[in-house]
Amino acid sequence: MSQDLPTTSYALLGLLSFGDRLTGYELKQRSDRTLRFYWVSPAMSQVYTELGRLTERGLVSAHDDTSAPARPTRRYQITATGVRELRDWLGTAPVEFPALKHPIALRLLLGHLVDPHTTQTMLEEYIEALAERRTDLQAVRDSLETNDADPDLFRFPRMVADWGLDYYEGERRMVIELIRRVTGEGMDPSPRS
Amino acid sequence: MSQDLPTTSYALLGLLSFGDRLTGYELKQRSDRTLRFYWVSPAMSQVYTELGRLTERGLVSAHDDTSAPARPTRRYQITATGVRELRDWLGTAPVEFPALKHPIALRLLLGHLVDPHTTQTMLEEYIEALAERRTDLQAVRDSLETNDADPDLFRFPRMVADWGLDYYEGERRMVIELIRRVTGEGMDPSPRS
DNA sequence: TGTAGCATGTAAGCCGTTACATGATTGA
DNA sequence: TCAATCATGTAACGGCTTACATGCTACA
């Protein structure tokens, strides 16, 4: 009942389903470590808006941090209702095909408008950006490896991280291939007589 | 001058940079065959809105189809100014890192909330969806292969299509691996005594 | 002493969607 | 004759961003 939340709401709710209580700030940090790589890490302001909505609907409960200084620090926890609705969503909502916004592919499409060197540089810079991202994600993956009490708690986050790492690796290989094609193809396939 | 259009505007403008005049309807079809796979194929209504804006700014010109019946059929063509601004954008605008919205990865992350069979089914359905997409993209790629007059005109679209096909293939392989992990892992690694 | 990080929110506005409205042409 | 496709647009509104506003705490 009362379905129809945006996916990002369920995503944030999902991040609260690992058994701990987080502040809005911490939830944002967690989404930077997870959602960022395969969904969207919402802006701080959005996280607070979403927590407000989830609280209203009783999917999370807010506990004002006693020992609070002046401004109240709130910790949010998923409720039994929240878990139920999340499970319900996972079980019934149609699963969309992934949506990709890939500015590099878009620019490569328009390669006929710029000189090959610009395209080559763009692809090389993309490889660097990819390496950085990969490093970030590897750090996340490493932190999921060694887990305390429950070794299965992060089993699925591990899989998702491995998926991401594999994607970055495939992307790297293909972009190297594309650089070859941009620089090589149509450039004197065999020396003209 | 007068930068600051949304990327989708430039994308549509770019689709008009291959030397032909299109109606709004045809432009939508072209974006379904190209942008869809690595950007976003805007809704019809958005295409018309965008064409209006581009016309206002003089980046495309509209030619009312004489031999028009009642409702005017307009064909749009990129202008010299349009080409200049597009080149300028390609040369100067910062290149964002790709943004991915991957509902399957998001759901896999929350695998601890559903039974393994549901997750397995989801991944298997994803493989099917992937195969469909791949077929669509392969058809596009094939249509770019044999080109009439200018064999280099679709050189970059070909590269982008190949990139997409490679991505789908990598995705397929990894999802198969993930299914193995979901069904196998933690399931009696060695028969208990 | 001042900067970075922790912490919470409101307001304005952009980008794009779905729903709605309209009508001609082609082919089963 | 009826459905699909071609063809063009407006209105409402959803989801998210950036900019703005506020203030504490820890540390260099």
- For residue B102, give the chain A residue with the closest CA: A98
- Report how far residue A33's alpha carbon sits from residue A46's, in angstroms, rounded to the nearest whole number: 17
In this predicted structure, what is the pLDDT of residue A151?
A: 83
Cα B169 from chain centroid (whole Å): 16
pLDDT given at position B187:
60
* B79 neighbors B58 (Cβ within 8 angstroms): yes
Q: Where are the beta strands (DSSP E) in B39-187?
A: 60-64, 74-78, 99-101
- Alpha carbon distance A122, A175 (integer Å): 10
| Distance between the alpha carbon (CA) of A80 and the C1' atom of C21, Å | 46
* pLDDT value of residue A186: 61
Q: Which long-range contacts (CB under 8 A, 24 or more apart) does B17-22 make?
A: B17/A110, B17/A112, B17/A113, B17/B78, B17/B82, B17/B83, B17/B86, B18/A112, B18/B153, B18/B154, B19/B153, B21/B63, B21/B75, B21/B76, B21/B77, B22/B75, B22/B76
- Selected residues 53-112 of chain A with any CB under 8 Å from a CB in chain B: 83, 86-87, 90-91, 95-112
Tell me if A104 and B118 make a contact (CB, 8 A cut-off). no
Q: Do the chains contact at A95 and B122, CB–CB below 8 Å?
A: yes
Question: What is the per-residue DSSP string for A121-153?
Answer: HHHHHHHHHHHHHHHHHHHHHHHHHS-SS-TTT
**Distance in Å, residue B43 CA to nucleotide C18 C1':** 9
Predicted confidence band at A14 (pLDDT cuts at 50, 70, 90)?
A: very high
Token couple for B181: 């992990």
pLDDT at A1 over 70: no
Percent of chain A with pLDDT strictly greater than 70: 90
Predicted confidence (pLDDT) per residue in A162-178, tens digit: 999 999 999 999 999 99
Tokens standing for residue A190: 């065999």
Residue segments in chain B with a per-residue pLDDT below the cut of 70: 1-3, 66-71, 147-148, 186-193
Structure confidence by residue, pLDDT tens digits, A27-78: 999 999 999 999 999 999 999 999 999 999 999 999 987 665 556 789 999 9
Q: Which residue has the tokens 């399957």?
A: B104
Q: What does DSSP say about strands A99-101 and B99-101: parallel, antiparallel, or unpaired?
A: antiparallel
Task: pLDDT band for A150, please (50, 70, 90 cuts).
Answer: confident
**CA-to-CA dists, residue B173 to A72, A164, A173, angstroms:** 49, 13, 15
Report chain B residues whose CB lies below 8 A from the CB of A167. 170-171, 174
Closest CA to A52 of A44, A41, A43, A60: A60
Instruction: Round to a whole number and report the distance in Å from the CA of A65 to the C1' of C7.
Output: 12
Please state, in angstroms and rounded to a whole number, the distance separating the CA atoms of residues A175 and A173: 6
Residue B101 has phi, psi (to 5 degrees) of -115, 105
Tokens representing B113 are 């909330």
Residue for token digits 């990865």?
B105
Residue A171 sits at the chain B interface (C-beta within 8 Å): yes
Amino acid letter for position B158: R
Q: How many residues does chain A have?
A: 193
Q: Does A176 touch chain B (CB under 8 A)?
A: no
The answer for B 104-163 residues in CB contact with A (under 8 A) is 104-114, 118, 122, 125-126, 129, 133, 152-153, 155-157, 159-160, 163
pTM metric for this prediction: 0.92
Chain B CA closest to residue A98? B102
How large is the C-alpha radius of gyration of chain B?
22
Strands A99-101 and B60-64 come out as unpaired
User: Where is pLDDT greater, at A89 or A184?
Assistant: A89
Task: Collapse the DSSP code of B54 into the 3-class scheme (helix H, G, I; strand E, B; otherwise coil) and give the result.
Answer: helix
Here the tokens at position B79 are: 């202008």
Single-letter amino acid code for the residue at B35: L
Give the residue whose CA sits closest to C14 at C1': B6
Are A159 and B178 within 8 A, CB to CB? yes
Through-space separation of residue A71 CA and nucleotide D22 C1' in angstroms: 10
Tokens (6 digits) for A147: 């887990």
Nearest CB to B97 within list A83, A129, A155: A129
Q: Which amino acid is at A30?
A: R
Q: In B, which residues are within 8 Å of A13 by CB distance?
A: none
